[in-house]
Amino acid sequence: MLVVATLGAVRRSRLRRRLRSAPPAPDATPVAVGRATLIVAQPIAGDPQAWLAQADCELEAREGLAVINSLLQRQRIVAADAAAHGIAPGQALVIRVGSGLGEEVADGRWTAAVEVAPAAVRRRREAMLSPQERLAAVLSGRDVVLACEELTLRARSDVDSGRWREAAFQLDAALRAAIAELASWAGQGDIDERVAELVAASAAVGGAAQTALIGGLTAEQISELERSLGRLEAVLRARSATAR
């Protein structure tokens, strides 16, 4: 069961006028905070603290976030809202894993819980300087953003959420775009060898995309998607390094 609540800010009434005067030194506008509580109706034998000590809390957090993102993806489709998106681990103010009685967890409370910082968030914080350097290079014209990079991010989102059919379509497009766009960096570093790997992988990924048109993918095709996406991400990192 998923319980969603809005906390924190007083709801503002709709403005009757399109424009209204703004003060020269406005106070910070309060914002609403959303809280999503995923409840698994599973009894826990013994002490809740002992269960927490033995549980893989990071795995529990990832699986819970995947369920919430699956719901958000469906909401995005039924609402036809292209701007809606899922929640990355680093976007959550806090992620907690715990246990409690029914009336507690339904109200966002618990008997025992811990706060979890998933590994993906820790890795991002450790590498935070690198994206800042890349952004500076892009803004100064020393580097460019490629279309295949956006497609690769979409494919990664689908893979991380287990949307394998969508991942096959996105990765097929991302590979074809990358092979074409990376031709401009031929001869730099090991880009040629890496692009050759992408060319070799493109046939299997294209086959998975064709399969996805009519149904689900096999376990072998899913594994190939994950491997090929990893190769593509590695090529793009290498290409970015040569542009700095």
**Start-to-end CA span in the chain (Å):** 48
Specify the pTM: 0.74
Q: How many domains does the chain have?
A: 2
In a domain, 225, yes or no: yes
Q: In terms of domains, do 182 and 80 share one?
A: no
Q: In terms of domains, do 219 and 133 share one?
A: yes
Among 162, 166, 152, residue whose Cα is nearest residue 228: 152
Q: In terms of domains, do 61 and 109 share one?
A: yes
Q: What pLDDT digit, counting tens, does each position of 151-176 carry?
A: 999 999 899 888 999 999 999 999 99
Last residue of a domain, one of 121, 151, 180: 121
In a domain, 136, yes or no: yes
Q: In terms of domains, do 111 and 133 share one?
A: no
Domain interval for residue 224:
128-242
Q: What pLDDT digit, counting tens, does each position of 98-142 carry?
A: 888 877 887 888 888 888 876 655 554 554 457 788 888 889 998
Buried b (16+ CB within 10 A) or exposed e, 229-244: bebbbebbebbbeeee
In a domain, 109, yes or no: yes
In a domain, 17, yes or no: no
